[in-house]
Structure 1
């Protein structure tokens, strides 16, 4: 059976009330600002995985991708440079998992970039998806051939 609350509502008189005529003390962001934050987050995560991949499998492609990702994150964050992961000596057995993670992150970044019509970021994300898909296919060929 229903029993009414015996304590006053925590929402009564709340500063965060959304009723007409009341003001709020928390900032509001536009949809575009929210998408910028999401896109910067996905690209930052992709940059971290790219940096991790550069340790065991250094290549000019990964170096260039890392530089372009850092540039996009800096742009989206209003000039603040992203934190970079130190290249590590990841085991060869982890490469497939890293490429899979990078492919997923690039896909998420592509969805957000397309949603906010950010052509540069969308192209970069699509290129990274293709590169990581190719790396996964190559690793699978090597594992089945061996």
Structure 2
């Protein structure tokens, strides 16, 4: 008939299908957010490097340095890989849109983990890319009368 379970399931150990403890390391929520944030910032850095090739500016150079610094901090001192100069170049407006979206994602994760430095950097990048896109395409402005 029915035999009761003698020992309840342990929430502390993870078991594989074979019933042996898993060797998979588990990360905290903060570690997972750090990984996610570093990924968003690294992607934003890659787009920023592309923009630096298309439309060089001191602002983009400064932004790239700040982004690389934050990625390295989040990755325990490991510097991000950078695309070599002369890579695939896209249209500046499309790159600004992509960078704006990536900065927005970084802002959401930074806010969720209360990383003020990255949240400020991401918000500044969102503003800069929105302004750059607006300057290239003034007809897209919501201010048209």
Which of residues 80, 83, 91 in structure 1 aligns to 2:81? 83
In 2, the alpha carbon distance for the partners of 1:142 and 1:55 equals 25
Which of residues 57, 60, 63 in structure 2 aligns to 1:59? 57
Match of 1:16 in 2: 16
List alignment gaps of at least 5 residues for structure 2: 1-13
Backbone CA RMSD of aligned residues = 2.2
List alignment gaps of at least 5 residues for structure 1: 1-13
Match of 1:41 in 2: 39
In 2, the alpha carbon distance for the partners of 1:25 and 1:31 equals 19
Contact 2:44–2:99 (CA under 8 A) maintained in structure 1:
yes
Match status 1:129 vs 2:126: yes
TM-score where L is the length of structure 2 = 0.80
TM-score where L is the length of structure 1 = 0.80
- Structure 1 residue 15 displacement after superposition: 4.9
- Structure 1 residue 34 displacement after superposition: 0.2
- Structure 1 residue 85 displacement after superposition: 1.2
In 2, the alpha carbon distance for the partners of 1:112 and 1:143 equals 28
Q: How many residues align?
A: 126
